[in-house]
Structure 1
Amino acid sequence: MKKIQFNLTFFLVVTAAACSNRYQTNNHTAANKADTVQSKYINQPLVSHIYTADPSAHVFNNRIYIYPSHDTATGAPGNEQGDHFDMMDYHVFSMDGVGSKVTDHGVALSLKDIPWAGRQLWAPDAAYANGKYYLYFPAKNKQDIFQIGVAVSDKPEGPFKAAAEPIKNSFSMDPAVFADDDGSHYMYFGGISGGQLQRWDNNVYHADATNKYGEELAVLPRMARLGKDMLSFAEPVKEIKIVDKNGNLFKAKDNDKRFFEAAWVHKYKGRYYFSYSTGDTHNICYAIGDNPYGPFTYQGIILHPVEGWTNHHSIVQFKNKWYLFYHDVQLSGHTHLRNIKVTELTYNADGTIVPIKAMK
């Protein structure tokens, strides 16, 4: 018995030493692997304790506020309609500046508190006017048709209280609100495929409408000026023309340039920059116009494809620098579980944007 105990003890000591060495080696290998993985990307996630996507960034009170969608793993099946993007609330984040600590202000609005909404709180945006903060968001109504809602707060971080009904005559998804120098606010929106934009013709819904293909003209994004109350459209919804250098509209087959989703507008040196995602070709592109209504002439790519199927962004100026907020799937590797990032945006002397590659 003693001999057995001695051999067992010796075995345990030797094994423990071997395991310790192996553990140290594995730790070293894991650390190297993590460093290698991180080195693939030009930026690291801003938020890692929850999954976030579609970051809309604004500067309020000399602080950057980010309004993203909140990805969750609900087990909803994946399909072309995007049912696996089953978001149920919004968090608001803020920071003193790029590179500083990011604060999670918690849940700003929940699906259960929106009377008209049925499901899927997709990419939101925010604006300030009338001494209030407005959160604009898409959701499918009880008939499973996307509309755009609005919620109001006294603080940029919320919590926000949703209006009882969606914005009248609104449809589709990805609202982005641009505040012009004269105080006017314009909403740009729309997304084809799961965003249902292809079902709307002359602002009338056609449930059986399908995506455009080949030589058909591409579906165009939409926009409308907001009323002074910030709760309604002040005019009928209009199409936005995105054209090539010859003034021609893109066709559906031009899917490396035509609009898919994720509209955003910013102003640089007096000109209006309309940027968007090409969706199934994963580019963030931009076009330039002379007024908020367009037409906008295509210029090129801002952000080349990121890791993950989707690409969605915002552009904001802060302390004399411009920044591009975007997302990828570095943390999860899953398209419906994304993480937001930020990188500096620069311009050429002629006003064109220097293209960015998110992967090294």
Structure 2
Amino acid sequence: MMKARITTAALCLTSALALVACSKAANEAQPANGGAPASAFRDQPLVNEIYTADPSAHVFDGKIYIYPSHDIETPTPDDDLGNQYAMRDYRVLSMDKVGGKVTVGPVALDVKDVPWASQQMWAPDAAYKDGTYYLYFPARDKSKDKNGLGAFRIGVATSKSPMGPFVAEKDPIPDSFSMDPAVFTDDDGTAYMYFGGIWGGQLQRWATGKYDPNGSDTDLMKDDQPALSGKVVKMNPDMKTFAESPRDAVILGEDGKPVLGGDHERRFFEASWVFKKDGKYYYTYSTGDTHFLNYAIGTSPYGPFKYAGHILKPVQGWTTHHSIIQHDGKWWLFYADTQLSNKNHLRNVKVTELTFNPDGSIQTIDPMKAK
């Protein structure tokens, strides 16, 4: 059944890429390859000198800093484990305001400088507390599973500058696993980490509470049962360790019951991001193989969160990973697509304004509909 879904998604993706084959430069009016012009996209890449994805944006001292993955070229073909995403370091982007000049920083952290990590520095996040900046990142450790690959753990590195360089702790965060860390700090100063991702992110291998190195490479294949949940955990004041065991961040449907595993347009896949507005906690995430960004709303940072709708329709490319911030009195969605490369593993970060309705719902954005 899963292979059928993958095949369908692949066919849809192939068709989409054929229709919106992108230019090699963000400002090219009509690309030489005959693909869609830059004007076909709602937004344009923030930078084109490097490939960037999975943008975690934050406002520190009034300035916007973006902590993205740094995509690199690789001959590895696309697969369900995400081996084509071979990123090995991080570079921070900064800008004074949306629409302003974007600065690309030097290498902030390299996998070779992380004692416990072996490869694949995937989607990071950052936080600030008491004069220190914290960079949270997933990477494979040096163990070997049935595919000869390490288990994903979450590490932390620190710096006195938001641009780095960051110095990594010698070990991953105890009891951490899977990928896509995102740290939200509540009004009382308490920080929570949200994390997890299925398929290549290995969350399904932790379904019993213990890691199975020979477990499923996709999801649990139990469509009529509650979907795997992303995780949430309170951080200790040191911002480097968990204060408790991770809990499920449960997403509920309109009927008040957990969304099922077979509900691929609503269930969690990866890319948690939480923000607070008008006293409500917005839990946002990606659906993965159906390529939506969704949101659900709760009254506690732990959830449960009631499904509320789509934030972003599918982008060009396979993955959708995002962040949401408030700056200059507006809300902004940072995301990525493959406009510059037309390759799933070489992406470019974008930003667009997020609009809320009076009832707190979010207006759905179409990334392929020009403004």
Structure 1 position 208, deviation (Å): 3.1
Determine the C-alpha separation between the residues in 2 that align with 1:278 and 1:76. Answer: 24
1:34-45 matched pairs, under 5 angstroms? 37-45=37-45
Which structure has the larger Rg over C-alpha atoms?
1
Determine the C-alpha separation between the residues in 2 that align with 1:290 and 1:94. Answer: 32
Does residue 164 of structure 1 match 2:170?
Answer: yes
- Matching residue within 252, 263, 267 for 2:261: 252
Instruction: Give 2:151's aligned residue.
Output: 145
**For 1:192-213, what per-residue CA distance to the aligned partner results, in whole angstroms no more than 9, with x for missing partners?**
0000000003531122332222
Structure 1 position 259, deviation (Å): 0.2
List gaps (5 residues or longer) in structure 2: 1-27, 144-149
**For 1:313-359, what per-residue CA distance to the aligned partner results, in whole angstroms no more than 9, with x for missing partners?**
10000011000000000000000000000000010000000110000
**For 1:275-334, what per-residue CA distance to the aligned partner results, in whole angstroms no more than 9, with x for missing partners?**
000000000000000010000000000000000011111000001100000000000000
Structure 1 position 36, deviation (Å): 5.5
Instruction: Give 1:78's aligned residue.
Output: 78
Determine the C-alpha separation between the residues in 2 that align with 1:202 and 1:245. Answer: 27
1:24-103 matched pairs, under 5 angstroms? 31-33=29-31, 37-103=37-103
SS of aligned partner of 1:137: strand
| AA in 2 matched with 1:67 | Y
Determine the C-alpha separation between the residues in 2 that align with 1:204 and 1:299. Answer: 32
Determine the C-alpha separation between the residues in 2 that align with 1:218 and 1:105. Answer: 39
Determine the C-alpha separation between the residues in 1 that align with 2:313 and 2:356. Answer: 16
1:1-360 matched pairs, under 5 angstroms? 31-33=29-31, 37-143=37-143, 144-210=150-216, 211-213=219-221, 214-360=223-369
Alpha-carbon spacing, 1:203–1:37, altered in 2? closer, same or farther (3 Å): same
Determine the C-alpha separation between the residues in 1 that align with 2:84 and 2:179. Answer: 16
Determine the C-alpha separation between the residues in 2 that align with 1:101 and 1:175. Answer: 28
Report the TM-score when normalising by structure 2: 0.87
Structure 1 position 77, deviation (Å): 3.7
| AA in 2 matched with 1:235 | E
| AA in 2 matched with 1:157 | M
Determine the C-alpha separation between the residues in 2 that align with 1:192 and 1:201. Answer: 10
| AA in 2 matched with 1:56 | S
Determine the C-alpha separation between the residues in 1 that align with 2:318 and 2:47. Answer: 19
Structure 1 position 135, deviation (Å): 0.1
Relative to structure 2, which stretch is displaced further, 335-344 or 212-221?
212-221
| AA in 1 matched with 2:239 | M
Determine the C-alpha separation between the residues in 1 that align with 2:287 and 2:37. Answer: 27
Determine the C-alpha separation between the residues in 2 that align with 1:226 and 1:49. Answer: 36
Determine the C-alpha separation between the residues in 2 that align with 1:140 and 1:32. Answer: 40
Work out the percentage of aligned pairs sharing the same amino acid: 55
CA contact (8 A) 1:203 1:237 kept: no
SS of aligned partner of 2:194: strand
CA contact (8 A) 2:191 2:234 kept: yes
Report the TM-score when normalising by structure 1: 0.90
Structure 1 position 131, deviation (Å): 1.4
When the two structures are aligned, how many residues end up with a matched partner?
A: 331
Determine the C-alpha separation between the residues in 2 that align with 1:78 and 1:160. Answer: 30
Determine the C-alpha separation between the residues in 2 that align with 1:319 and 1:199. Answer: 42
Instruction: Give 2:6's aligned residue.
Output: none
Determine the C-alpha separation between the residues in 2 that align with 1:216 and 1:230. Answer: 35
Determine the C-alpha separation between the residues in 2 that align with 1:331 and 1:201. Answer: 37
CA RMSD of aligned residues (A): 1.3
| AA in 2 matched with 1:343 | T
Instruction: Give 1:24's aligned residue.
Output: none
**For 1:70-99, what per-residue CA distance to the aligned partner results, in whole angstroms no more than 9, with x for missing partners?**
000132343211111000000001000000
